[in-house]
Structure 1
Amino acid sequence: MADKKKLTYWQLRAIRNEEKSHEAANNKIPIITNAYIRAQNYLTGEVQQIYRRYFTNGPYTEAQVEEILNTHVSPTELVTLRALAKNITDSESKKQVTDYLSALAAKERITRLEELKAKSYIAVKQVSSVEVQESTDLYTKVIQQAWNEATAEGVIGAVGKDVKLFEKGYVPQIDKETKQISILNPETGKEVTKVKAVPEKAITSFKELSGKYVKAALNTPFYGRNYSQRIWHNTDKLAERLSELFTAQQMSWMSERDMAKAISEEFGSGMANAKRLIRTEANFFHSTTKVAGWKQRGIEEYELVAVLDKRTSAICRHMDGKVFKVSEAKVGITLDPFHPHCRTTPVVHFASSEYADTRTANNPNTGKQFKIDQDKTYRDWEQIINSERKK
């Protein structure tokens, strides 16, 4: 007989590992957030210097501000700008900054406005470099972990198929010399198949995925862009919005405090985009890698499991408990993520298994957790919570 707890363990482990990938994403967020804050503080300081040096007797007309911003700066400032770009490690971000500065160097003179915009551009690209580096590290680990899970689940799935044969009435006969089991049809007495009788070995490690496979997985487009392209796109948009702040028209009516607030809001928007991206794409890489691994190992079906709390979206409430074919998995339709910050996860589904256990649910009425049958869905949980509230 199969070990009921062992089969349940692998299904529950899949949910816990998805939670771990979310936690890993959350651990990266402070690092990326700090990069945004450093860039914001640097740029705010540079803008403050301009305000305190040139705009202390304001307000100024747009024409007066434009005249100040169009004054030329020393050519040595280009050296300073290049020095700022030295700590950018991401190759694409570095290339973008190099191209930007090369275009600036081609001009005879650089204005104070161009210098300020260049500093804002470099500051943002320093952020994108950190974001790409931290995201790459996270997603690489998520992909390897998900592949390991799929490998283990493939083994358990194969065990389940063997168990099903035994439960249907096949009588195993072991040959002591060859150490093979002959499975006989109890009705005819004829041999159905032979399998090696070897002790079950504990799964302690898995083969590391090749760099080529991981790179291909990382480059998989998610709604039109891969993760690094999305980071560059988001940071480019941030640089554009900052650039729009630094115009004579804007600075003629914005006080130093107003400008600092506007810069803070733009970086705040950038941080929100970064948090949404890293959480959502960690979910994407985890789920799509699991599906790829399942396909290789003959797993036929998977089930979607939503987090049982009030933050769960309407679509994930609807998808909770649904079973789909691995061959038909499609992100956003039958496979998570279904939306930004999605917490739903796919778990292997053993269609022939009668084994069930419990899953953990959150109780918003008491603030505590409780156990619910594993085969219960979000809708069942909601009914339990609502009926309890009415008591």
Structure 2
Amino acid sequence: MSDNNYWEKRAVDLEKLSQDRADVDIMHVNKLFDGAVDIVEKQIEEIFGKYARDSGISQDAALRLLNEKQTETMRRNLMITLAQCQEEIARQAILARLNAPAYAARISRLEALKDLVYSQAYMVGADAHRRLENRLIDTYSESYYRSIYDMQRRTETGFDFTKLADRDVQAAIETEWAGFNYSKRIWKNTDKLAKSLEQVITQGLMTGQSIRDMDLALEAKIDGGRYNINRVIRTEVNNCCNQGTLKSYKAAGVLRYIYLATLDLRTSSICRKLDKEVFFVSKAEQGVNFPPMHPHCRSTTMGYREDLPKERIARDPKTGKNIHVPFEMSYAQWYRKYVLEKKDVDNTKNGDNIRDIMFKASKSDVNIIRDEKAVVDAYSQLPDKVQKAMADVTFNMGQNGSSCDVKKGIINIAKGAEKEDIDHEFGHLIEERMMDPKIVEKYKKYLTEGLSDADITSEIYENDSGEKFNIYILHGDKFISEYQGRLYINSVTEAITPDGNLNTEFMWEAISELFRVYQKDKTMLNEYEIKLIEEALR
């Protein structure tokens, strides 16, 4: 393989890596689509099953059934969907249904069923929106740094480049192209799907379709919605991968780029024509001479060799010599040395570099590096007093789940952990190392005031090994999340003290969840909770 072919393959492989990771998000979204089908079909079966199976139902009979009033069950289903939904746009859409005047009385089964399919569509859209946003942030950042890395390896020299700030990455992924950005595309397709499902329900039931025919029509619409959402995910990932690369050209002073198409039987004619063409970076335009050229585009670009940095070679501040980036240096090694270890001092207080963080991992790959960056981001946003308290903490990377050993000072970081997950684990250590147990107990008493064993439910969960186990959850109006109400007990009797009160000893998530939400958005907490955390952090 020639030198140029090697670097072309590297560029194409980067886009493929981004799409491979998007496959994980698509898999999760598709599971939600399947679940939505099951929920709606089950509800239709409950309404009409005893009247008609595959034989259909007369229009008169359908009208009688549809006009029967049945609000509470349907309202409860919508409330469950609302409780599971975090995206504000989806929540507002579902709330609009719940707050409609019809729900003040009793609503017809037809309207309630339409509300159900509408909320299920928005539930899937909300999950797709959240997953895609996180994927685009990672894709943009990684394509930027990997492109810088490859350019430095091609020249075997280091050159100065700007570290990406979170606000710049967010602005980049929110930039509109072809009239929309990722968010508008997701919600546009979600609304289209929701309305088409409502139409299937109305037409199918009013014309006396059999349950089977109605199910097939719903599945066809949902398959169409699934395809559209999957297309948005793939195309937006390609766009962010290429925009991150384009940003790297500008950071490195590269003037031209080569268009690279993935050549196989699926390659479009437009991308075949553009393959190996050279364009100026300043003239790059999506859909004209820069990918994506079309939906599902897999094309990418590579910096033009003659334009690679030669004059802006960086010097080692300790030795004064030019920085040499050996060809054999792995991306993991490069990222840790030139990105993590040179993180902008603006991310820490008083301009001091953050303290050394102790990482442990069985292997070092790009996923581990991404997770280490998440730890650094979370750590750098901790108050200085907390950073000092965490100075001896070891982070075990690449674990199947996140957890904290407060006695040994070890935090296990799950693969793909988000900043919120890490903040939650920091919360366990803050409780252990920085808070008076009496104050913690007082807070738990505040949470459980007026509650009893009747407010405890048991749910079956499955761990990463497929083993099923019971989780007990205490429900109350003061909990900031369901997770905060978890009880680590084997039976309800353990949650009751001899004098008949709730035993708060097993509420291990009270402070960790409180700190997670405080770091995310403290306006979500009340004055007492904010004061509780801030007094501990002083």
TM-score, normalised with respect to structure 1: 0.71
Query: What is the one-letter code of the residue matched to 1:118?
Result: D
**Which amino acid in 1 is paired with 2:127?**
V
1:379 aligns with none
Q: Judge conservation of contact 1:303–1:346 (CA < 8 Å) in 2.
A: yes
- SS for the counterpart of 2:306 is coil
For 1:34, the equivalent position in structure 2 comes to 31
Partner of 2:78: 81
State the 1:9 CA deviation.
5.4
Q: Which residue of 1 aligns with 2:213?
A: 258
Q: Is the 8 A contact 1:302 1:347 kept in 2?
A: yes
C-alpha distance in structure 2 between counterparts of 1:347 and 1:30, whole Å: 30
Q: Name the structure 2 match of 1:172.
A: none
- The change in CA–CA distance for 1:280 and 1:201 in structure 2 (over 3 A counts) is closer
2-structure distance, mates of 1:104, 1:90: 24
CA distance in 2, matches of 1:58, 1:309: 48
Distance verdict in 2 for CA 1:145–1:39, change over 3 Å: same
- Say if 2:312 is the partner of 1:315: no
CA–CA distance in structure 2, aligned partners of residues 150 and 300 of structure 1: 15
> 126, 132, 141: which one pairs with 2:129?
132
Is 1:268 aligned with 2:223?
yes
Instruction: Give % identity.
Output: 29
Kindly state the Cα deviation for residue 96 of structure 1 after the two structures are TM-superposed.
1.8
Query: 1:294-343 CA deviation, whole Å, 9 max, x = no partner?
Result: 12321100001111212111111111111100000000001011111111
CA distance in 1 between counterparts of 2:234 and 2:73 reads 42
Instruction: Summarize the Cα distance change of 1:76–1:246 in structure 2 as closer, same or farther, 3 Å threshold.
Output: closer
1:297-316 aligned at under 5 Å gives the runs 297-316=252-271
Aligned residue-pair number: 307
| TM-score in terms of structure 2 length | 0.53
Residues of 1 paired with 2:46 and 2:84: CA distance? 23
The separation in 2 between residues aligned to 1:71 and 1:292, in whole angstroms, is 59
- Give a deviation string over 1:78-135, Cα, whole Å, max 9, x none: 2342123211122221222112211256543211111101111111111112211221
Residues 255, 307 of structure 2: 8 Å contact kept: no
- Contact 1:59/1:252, CA 8 A, preserved across alignment: no
Q: Does 1:326 align with 2:281?
A: yes
- Which has the higher relative contact order, 1 or 2, with Cα contacts under 8 A spaced 6 or more apart? 1
Q: Does 1:213 align with 2:210?
A: no
- What is the CA–CA distance in structure 1 between the aligned matches of 2:76 and 2:263, rounded to whole Å? 55
The correspondence for 1:281, drawn from 194, 217, 236, is: 236
Aligned residue type for 2:286: V
CA distance in 2: counterparts of 1:80 and 1:345, whole angstroms? 45
Larger Rg: 1
> Is the 8 Å Cα contact of residues 104 and 110 (structure 1) preserved in structure 2?
no
What is the deviation of 1:211? 2.0
Equivalent residues of 2:139, 2:240 under 8 A apart: yes
Q: CA deviation at 1:266?
A: 0.9
CA offsets per residue over residues 173-227 of structure 1, 9 Å max, x none? xxxxxxxxxxxxxxxxxxxxxxxxxxx6699xx9763221121112111322211
Q: Which runs of 5+ in 2 are unaligned?
A: 309-538
Which residue matches 2:194?
A: 239
Equivalent residue number for residue 222 of structure 1:
177
Q: Quick check: 1:63–1:248 contact (8 Å CA) kept in 2?
A: no
* Residue from 340, 345, 366 that aligns with 2:300: 345
Counterpart-to-counterpart distance in 1, 2:205 and 2:67: 15
Q: Distance in 2 between matches of 1:105 and 1:296?
A: 57
The structural deviation recorded for 1:154 is: 5.7
1:231/1:104 CA distance change after superposition, 3 Å: farther
Q: C-alpha separation between the residues in 2 aligned to 1:77 and 1:238?
A: 20
- Uncovered stretches (5+) of structure 1, i.e. residues with no partner: 161-199, 354-391
